[in-house]
Amino acid sequence: MKVLWRVALTPVVVFILLFALGSSHPVLAQNGVGRYFSETGHWVSGEFLEYFESFPDAVFLFGYPISTEFNDPDNGVRVQYFQRARFEFHPENRPGNRVALTMLGSQLYEPGIGEVAAASAFSPACETVPDNPYGDFQICYSFLDFYKEHGGADQFGYPISDLEEHNERTVQYFEYVRIEWYPEYRPGSQITLGNLGQLEFKQRSLDPQLLEPQSGIIDELPLDLRTKAFVEKAAVAAGEEQTLFVTVHDQNLQPIDGAEVSYTVKFSDGTVLRDLMAPTDEFGISSNTFPVIAESRDIAEVVVTVNNGNLIEIIRTSFRVWW
């Protein structure tokens, strides 16, 4: 069984941590101030911002950001909520494809709850989407026009319901969204998207502090992560324990308290060890002790991921496994 505990830091160790140069090599950092949305008091930056701004009608499609970035407590994926969407960050994908939308429509739709709206199954104003794995659900009338105008299946996914009546409102669910009809609005604005991001956040009972507005003053925010990772021992015998130390500072070399840290140890025999570390303390330090479980004797690589708000950095260090 893997041993996991946090070591106590002596004054000597703290001194070493604060001033050591370490042997890490930064390979990825989401830097830059990002974009502040005063409408909701939240920042969007890094690859989330790149994805958001790649759509000319981003605010219409996704809404404004309603949360900070954080790691989903269920699966550890880095996410950020918007009024109508949730962004996911997948660093394992190649650049340009690391941001994905959560299938909020699929997660929130409950078959049988709404009454199927009156629509002709054979109307020329209706169409089905080819190869829809969910069935021959049709998209009709203004819903069909809206679907086609805003990206179709590529943007909204396949339809997963018929037109239905929910709370006296005509809606249709798709994999990623819910399209809604507001006949009382002026022509051209009667079809819109539901606020599924807000709804899903509320239903999951996530930490409400994630919705608290952030400061729009740049000087008060970390703009860059100065991160170092190093191990206690340069060489460790198989079966013994190794301790990993990580320090995190901002662009002003001030320690960052509460940064989220995880690590992966890759041994030469193919064995992989993954775990979360404790968040950094008031000195910007986190540490963790783990067993050296490799059977072969060679260099073991340690990959550390640090998350702090809108900033992500991945750094590396290593040690040798010997007899």
Kindly report, residue by residue over 145-154, the tens digit of the pLDDT.
999 999 999 9
Does this model's pTM top 0.75?
A: no
Name the residue among 156, 181, 159, 162 with its Cα closest to residue 170.
Answer: 181
Buried b (16+ CB within 10 A) or exposed e, 152-188: ebeebbbbbbbbbebeeebbbbbbbbbbbbeeeeeee
- CA 161 – CA 143 distance, rounded (Å): 13
Q: Which domains does the chain have, with CATH numbers?
A: 11-30+221-322 (2.60.40.1930), 35-211 (no CATH)
Calculate the alpha carbon distances from 138 to 166, 179, 226, 298 in Å. 18, 13, 53, 59
- CA 262 – CA 305 distance, rounded (Å): 5
Question: Tens place of pLDDT for every residue, the chain, 323 residues?
Answer: 333 333 334 444 443 444 443 333 322 333 346 899 999 999 999 899 999 999 999 999 999 999 999 999 998 899 999 999 999 999 888 888 999 999 999 999 999 887 887 654 556 789 999 999 999 999 999 999 999 999 999 999 999 999 999 888 899 999 999 999 998 888 888 999 999 999 999 999 899 999 998 877 655 567 678 899 999 999 999 889 999 999 999 877 889 998 999 999 999 888 889 888 999 999 999 999 999 988 778 899 999 988 887 678 889 999 999 87
pLDDT of residue 81: 98
pLDDT of residue 204: 93
